[in-house]
Structure 1
Amino acid sequence: MSSHVIALVGAESTGKTTLAREVVRVLSGRGVDAVMVPEALRDFCVQHDRTPLQHEQAAIATEQTLRIHQAAQGHSVVLADTTALMTAIYSDFIFEDRSLYDIALRDHAQADLTLLTSLDLAWTADGLQRDGPHVREPVDQLIRQALQHHQLPYNVVAGRGVARVQHALSAIEHLMDAPQRQLRAASSPRWRWYCDHCDDGECEQHGLGDGRA
């Protein structure tokens, strides 16, 4: 993937979709070619008027990864409203099926930045998409455990409204500025200290040995 892919993960009703839309809106306003990848699970629920069965989870995870990959081919910044990892998490939580983790984590690792939305927003109903506020903490723990166990770094995004968007943007801006930081570091002179006795190879040990500075 040649673009910056930002993966948004988090328990239900933690503002992932709203955050993705707002970040894309702000970046687009700055002239950045940014796009949001919608959640395949949401489209499935709308199309079938139900939540998926256990054997349908793998296809949803594959579709989510495909959408992200396609978006990355044509845009500079991709905001993914969840990844296949979330499908694996819910397969584990709801069906006790852990079979999707390996592929989901492999696909998730392709993202350049992972943003985990905090539980500091109030839970709200959203039709078939929501199971209830009681599932948020265990799902949040499963996400953290999966990322930490596979050494996939992540940033927790917290706050409300503009503060939440700015929190996410600060992490994304840091990612996007990485090439420039490397150039600045390469071109900046480094400060060096030279010993007054630099022609004496034993001066450091000698100074330590006889108590002289």
Structure 2
Amino acid sequence: MRPATPLRIAILGAASSGKSTLAAALAEHYQTLWVPEYLREFVDVQGRVPRSEDQFHIASTQRAREELAAARASKYLFCDTTPLMTAIYSRHYFGAVDAPLAALAASHQQDYDLTLVTAADIPWVADGLMRECETVSVTINRMLLDELAARAIPYILVSGEPGERLSQVERHL
């Protein structure tokens, strides 16, 4: 019998750090669901990078998709990013996080049972229309680690090739 609420696993990291690969591998391994990063779909559908006014929509859509998936997931739900990452990107690109996004990121962070951070130790690959580059990824990674420390959010840093990352997470689950 599956639990009423699956354990939510947040997978955070800069662009091209293997979040989606890890989320998909974990979902397959544990025969459950993962929630892809909505930002990718947003960029593909809109044909442009997001603007400041898009940030809350992106984060709230991500969160809504988590809620839908949680009702169907078994034991674990792997979340490829969270509203916290959207807030970090908003601060980096737009110099601020608007109040609704800040509230969304703060109010739901405690919903994650485990936070994983993907190390930037795999080759960086450009991601279509996304504007990030390897240099920005280093900055975003530092901002993420600083934010996790400031919020006292414990996390597990996963590194290495995909198989190694999967094994590291298995040991913690």
TM-score of the superposed pair, with normalisation by structure 2:
0.91
Q: Which residue in the other structure is 2:10 paired with? A: 7
TM-fit CA distance, 1:106: 2.1
Alignment of 1:123-138 (within 5 A): 123-138=124-139
Alignment of 1:39-188 (within 5 A): 39-76=37-74, 77-99=76-98, 100-171=101-172, 173=173
Query: What secondary structure is seen at the aligned counterpart in 1 of 2:22?
Result: helix
- Aligned partner letter, 2:137: R
Show structure 1 runs of 5+ residues with no match.
Answer: 29-33, 174-213
Q: How large is the Cα RMSD of the aligned pairs?
A: 1.3
Q: Which structure is richer in relative contact order (CA contacts within 8 A, separation 6 or more)?
A: 2
Aligned residue-pair number: 167
TM-score of the superposed pair, with normalisation by structure 1:
0.75
Deviations, residues 134-187 of structure 1 (Å, cap 9, x unaligned): 01121111111211111111111111131122112222x2xxxxxxxxxxxxxx
Quick check: 1:12–1:130 contact (8 Å CA) kept in 2?
Answer: no
| Larger Rg computed on CA atoms | 1
Quick check: 1:121–1:160 contact (8 Å CA) kept in 2?
Answer: yes
Deviations, residues 106-146 of structure 1 (Å, cap 9, x unaligned): 21221111000001111111101351100112111111121
Q: Which residue in the other structure is 2:33 paired with? A: 35
In structure 2, C-alpha distance between the alignment counterparts of 1:102 and 1:35, rounded to whole Å = 26
In structure 2, C-alpha distance between the alignment counterparts of 1:80 and 1:87, rounded to whole Å = 13
TM-fit CA distance, 1:98: 2.3
Deviations, residues 25-47 of structure 1 (Å, cap 9, x unaligned): 1112xxxxx10101111110110
In structure 1, C-alpha distance between the alignment counterparts of 2:116 and 2:136, rounded to whole Å = 19
In structure 1, C-alpha distance between the alignment counterparts of 2:45 and 2:136, rounded to whole Å = 24
Show structure 2 runs of 5+ residues with no match.
Answer: none
Query: What secondary structure is seen at the aligned counterpart in 2 of 1:57?
Result: helix
Quick check: 2:60–2:104 contact (8 Å CA) kept in 1?
Answer: no
Q: Which residue in the other structure is 2:24 paired with? A: 21
In the TM superposition, structure 1's runs of 4+ consecutive aligned residues that sit over 4 Å from their partners are none
